[in-house]
Structure 1
Amino acid sequence: MVSKAWMLGLCLALFASIAAAAQDRGPVTNLPLPRFVSLKAAEGNARRGPSLSHRIDWIYTRRDMPLEITAEYGHWRRVRDRDGAGGWIHYSLLSGVRTVLVEQDLLPLRMRPDANAPEVARMAMGVVARMGACNRDWCELTAGGYSGWAPKTAIWGVRPDEERD
């Protein structure tokens, strides 16, 4: 026979796990939080709060810039960039197309996800590249007509544990 205290403990543990899972999802989209997206528009205003009446704190002027969504409210998404700056941006200015920011100068792109694979190109620090597949340690990047694999540690816009086909 199961005791009431044991059942209560089980219920509380289950509730805590459900609450934690709910906090990891956006209340509007039910998509994971945080998550990476890119700036769809050539310009996007990051506001202090989630409405047009809030002051503009930051203006992003680089199409395809990777941004991290940290919160949702109605049609607004709170984002931050690689430097931690950001604010609330209207969802219509964001895209699910994944891009990353190169954080290492002259980053070698490899033919395969292997440090000993032949180098196919180099990317300058600050380049915004489209992200393709990712395994545990490497991501496939495309920019300027070149495509190759780079270590996750050299780019911003992907979680360390993220894998993509």
Structure 2
Amino acid sequence: MRFALCLHPDAVKRANRDTRENDTLATRPGQRALVWTMRVLCLFLVLAIAGAAHLPPVRAQSAEAERGRSGLPIPRFVTLGAGEARMRAGPGRDYPVKWLFVRRTLPMEVIDEYGIYRKVRGPDGAEGWMDKALLSGARYALIVDKVATVRARPEADAPPVWRAEPGVIARVQLCAEGWCRIEAEGRSGYIRALDLWGVYPDEAID
């Protein structure tokens, strides 16, 4: 059964006419109070519906907030595409150089954008700004903390293929379900994403 919270205008007119013609109904206690209560409820309902129609799209705005002006996600991983890359204190050539990176394909994490500059974070935690021309979208990862076992399959009990020393940079071929296939020095295999700097633990790369 459906209940109408607001009456059609024609129905309201008919109800008013019937009420005027019937003195008994018009003089019942609480009759007019009930009519006015229904009108107030209808007014509030109309205002609520109108207000809801103009609510901002929260999900859409949240998705936009996770992307930079370039349209790419923030944060995200990139790599150094130049043999020498200057990290500056701010987004411009007038800012002093904080660090000079000389290792091509070193993974960096983009955490902000401003014009042609990207604020990046290095594996050691250093943060600063770089011209986007110094960065590449190619995916490489750095072995961190300890010797990592590279396996034949993306399984914890798969046979080991080789062991990668900390500091080794490997090309990331794909990632799925916490495992990444990497290639370095002519060898390839699977390694846990948690053992790498340059990919996120739940990131999918194909």
Q: What TM-score results when the alignment is normalised by the length of structure 1?
A: 0.91
- 2:157 corresponds, among 92, 116, 125, to 116
- 1:17 corresponds, among 47, 52, 59, to 59
* Aligned 8 A contact 1:65 1:101 in 2: yes
* Aligned 8 A contact 2:90 2:129 in 1: yes
Residue 47 of structure 1, CA deviation: 0.6
* Structure number having the greater strand percentage: 1
SS state at 1:12 partner: coil
* Structure number having the greater helix percentage: 2
SS state at 1:53 partner: coil
Letter in 2 for 1:106: V
* Aligned 8 A contact 2:149 2:162 in 1: yes
**Counterpart position of 1:150:** 191
* Aligned 8 A contact 2:151 2:160 in 1: yes
Distance 2:141 2:83 in 1: 16
Identity of aligned residues (%): 40
Residue 146 of structure 1, CA deviation: 0.9
* Aligned 8 A contact 2:110 2:120 in 1: yes
**Counterpart position of 1:92:** 133
Distance 1:46 1:83 in 2: 13
Higher relative contact order (CA 8 A, sep 6+): 1
- 1:46 corresponds, among 87, 97, 100, to 87
CA 5–35 in structure 1, closer or farther in 2 if over 3 Å, else same:
same
* Aligned 8 A contact 2:178 2:203 in 1: no
Number of aligned residues: 163
Distance 1:7 1:133 in 2: 49
SS state at 1:126 partner: coil
Distance 1:82 1:127 in 2: 12
Residue 10 of structure 1, CA deviation: 6.1
Q: Within 5 Å, which residues of 2 pair with 1:62-77?
A: 62-77=103-118
Return 5+ residue gaps in structure 2 as ranges: 1-5, 7-44
**Counterpart position of 1:107:** 148
Please tell me the root mean square deviation across aligned C-alpha atoms, in Å: 1.7
Residue 83 of structure 1, CA deviation: 2.4
**Counterpart position of 2:41:** none
Residue 150 of structure 1, CA deviation: 0.3
SS state at 1:92 partner: helix
CA 56–113 in structure 1, closer or farther in 2 if over 3 Å, else same:
same
Residue 11 of structure 1, CA deviation: 4.0
CA 59–4 in structure 1, closer or farther in 2 if over 3 Å, else same:
farther
- 1:61 corresponds, among 94, 102, 107, to 102
* Aligned 8 A contact 1:104 1:155 in 2: no
Residue 57 of structure 1, CA deviation: 1.0
Is residue 108 of structure 2 the alignment partner of residue 82 of structure 1?
no
Output one character per residue of 1:32-85: Cα deviation in whole Å (capped at 9) or x when no partner. 111100001111111111110001111112110000111111111110012221
